[in-house]
Amino acid sequence: MTHTLRSPQDFAAGLLLGAIALGGLWLARGWEAGSLAMMQAGFFPRLVCYLLLASGLATMLRGLTADAPATLGWAWRPSVAITVAVVAFAALLDKLGLVLAILALIGIGGLAGRPLRPGPFTALWATLASACVAIFSWGLGLPLQIWP
């Protein structure tokens, strides 16, 4: 075994799994586990977390011993733009209504790829907004706020 990481991907995956397992165990610390014959709320979570911890450790070990491609890479632009767009939609929907929330969603979300020119963008906005109002508000009768 060498000291360099042979597969950062596996090592990182193992770290993440281990961290989730430890976090779960910590959150479950106060719950009663009971016994095998009399399981309480804490039994199953602990069982799953221990198994998860074991598989996390095994994956980390693999990261030290097995070769794998080194590049991880992270696409900042799409991941941030999509997430911010969806959260903005959630924040605006109840305050400014559906039409403007969709504008924010596709405006910010569009930055994830190559943004559309103003003309096609407006057409897309109008189509999506009217389709959503027609289907969800009129068709299915959802209590949606449409305008501010």
Partner 1 sequence: MTDIFANLWLGLGVSVEPMNLVYCFLGALIGTLIGVLPGLGPTATVALLLPITFYLPPVGALIMLAGIFYGAQYGGSTTAILVKLPGESSSVMTCLDGNAMARQGRGGVALATAALSSLFAGVVTTLVIAVAGPPLAGVALAFGPSEYVALMLVGLIGAVILAHGSVVKAVAMILIGLLLSMVGTDVNSGQMRFTFDIPQLYDGLDFVPLAMGLFGLADIIINLEETEGRGIEPSPIHRLWPTWADFKEAWPAAVRGTALGAFLGILPGGGATLSAFSSYALEKKVARDPAAFGKGAIQGVAGPEAANNAGAQASFIPMLSLGIPSNAVMALMIGAMMIHGITPGPQIMTKQPDLFWGMIASMLVGNVMLVVLNLPLIGIWVRLLRVPYGYLFPAILVFCCIGTYSLRNDVFDVVMMAGFGIFGYVLKKLDCEPAPLLLGFVLGPLLEENLSRSMLLSHGDLTVFVTRPISAGLMAVAAGLLALILLPAFRRQREVAFKE
What are the backbone dihedrals phi and psi of residue 34, each rounded to the nearest 5 degrees, phi first?
70, -160
Contact between 90 and partner 1 per CB under 8 A:
yes
Return d(Cα 72, Cα 29) in angstroms, integer.
34
Nearest 5 degrees, angle CA 120-CA 123-CA 129? 140
Query: What residue type is assigned to position 64 of the chain?
Result: L
Q: Which residues pair with 34 in a beta bridge?
A: 39
User: Minimum distance from CB of 106 to partner 1 (Å)?
Assistant: 4
Please report, as ranges, the residues that interact with partner 1 according to CB under 8 A. 9-10, 12-13, 16-17, 20, 24, 27-28, 31-32, 35-45, 48-49, 51-52, 55-56, 58-59, 62, 72-75, 77-79, 82-83, 85-87, 89-91, 93-94, 98, 102, 105-106, 109-110, 112-114, 116, 120, 124, 128, 132, 135-136, 140, 142-143
